[in-house]
Amino acid sequence: MNICRIANKNICNLLFKERINNVLLPFRTTFIVKRRYEPPVSKFNAKKPRILKARHFIYETVEDTDLTDPPDLHVVLTTFVEGIGDVGDVISLDPYYARDNLLLPNKAAYATPENIEKFSNMKKSKTERAKFSSIHAGTIVRTLSKSVIPVFMNPKDPWTLNKKHIQVAFRIEGYNVPEDAIEMPNTPIEGPDSVKEHADFAVFITINNTERVPVRCRLFHIKIGMETAELSEELYLNKGEPILAEQKSLLESMPMPEIIQDLSSSISLVEKYRIKYIV
């Protein structure tokens, strides 16, 4: 009796596993085909329809939908989405990203006329301020907070750091920062001074007159013949000694750059997922 029970239990387990696997295995796909040979058409009110022959069941593939990209999906945002847009914005983008990252988390809805009108009115009547001043401000804040901006100064002539030096340093790194958006340290930094070589200080950058982010800068003295040389990554990854004692705690709390293994992560969402804004 016990042996029978064990055998029945094992058979039930096998059937249950097979049933589960059958649910998971099917894969939906679509082929568009056409007949190679046109079938004969039966006459109206014919007693017997014309019989199709074997050649009438030969098909040619017109399109395999797995090999073609689906069209972009049109959605309307229901909330602020960093790097993409704000509530009421109508966009078209990659359908896979739209479904997984916008529609399922309820950050967007299908761009039907009713939804467009609903969320456009919500955008007009919205009183609460967005988390960031623009859709890209959050990304810029995080990028700058992890950056190390090299500032190259003259090794012979005396100088005092000012906003113009910082503006040029940011421009070399690919950032266009106006002078009125730069906030210098309260204590002036003067040189040349070999003690300050590879040392750090912080400046504050204001984005859209709203976000204020501290940025780590690193001082270097230009060496003759190396004006166009590129610095090694090691000079950016480790924290340097602070030039100003008053900024020591601030610099210690600021993150350091990370080596990006996946270059696609540095591409903006707009470019990566073919996002287009529909007016």
Residue with tokens 């919205």: 126
As to burial, measured by CB atoms within 10 angstroms (0-12 exposed, 13-18 middle, 19+ buried), residue 130 is middle
The least confident of 149-158, 202-211, 230-239, 258-267 is 258-267
CA-to-CA distance for 165 and 1, rounded, in angstroms? 90
pLDDT value at position 219?
A: 92
User: What's the one-letter identity of residue 13?
Assistant: N
228 has which bridge partners?
Answer: none
The 10s digit of each residue's pLDDT in 109-152 is: 999 999 999 988 887 777 665 677 777 888 888 889 888 898 99
**Burial level of 91, CB count in 10 A (0-12/13-18/19+)?**
buried
- CA 201, CA 220: separation in Å to the nearest integer? 12
Q: How far from 107 is each of 126, 132, 269, CA to CA, in Å?
A: 16, 17, 15
Q: What residue spans of the chain are helical by DSSP H?
A: 2-24, 95-98, 113-125, 137-145, 163-172, 234-237, 248-253, 269-272
∠ CA 187-191-195, rounded to 5°: 95
> Residue-wise over 5-25: b if at least 16 C-beta within 10 A, else e?
eeeeeeeeeeeeeeeeeeeee
Mean pLDDT of the chain: 81
Q: Indicate if the pLDDT at residue 178 is higher than 90.
A: yes
Give the residue among 134, 126, 123 at the shortest CA–CA distance from 211: 134
Q: How far is CA 137 from CA 128, 134, 164, 251, in A?
A: 17, 5, 23, 22
Given a contact cutoff of 8 angstroms between Cβ atoms, the answer to whether 201 and 132 are in contact is: no
Put residue 77 in one of left, alpha, beta given phi > 0 → left and psi -120 to 50 → alpha.
Answer: beta
Task: With beta carbons less than 8 A apart as the criterion, state whether 255 and 145 touch.
Answer: yes
| Confidence class for position 190, pLDDT limits 50, 70, 90 | very high
Residue 263 φ/ψ region, left for φ over 0, alpha for ψ in the -120 to 50 degree band, beta for the rest: alpha
pTM listed for this prediction? 0.62
More confident residue, 70 or 21: 70
Reported as a single tens digit per residue, the pLDDT across 9-57 is 444 554 444 444 445 555 567 888 999 999 888 888 888 888 889 999 9
Mean pLDDT of 220-228: 71
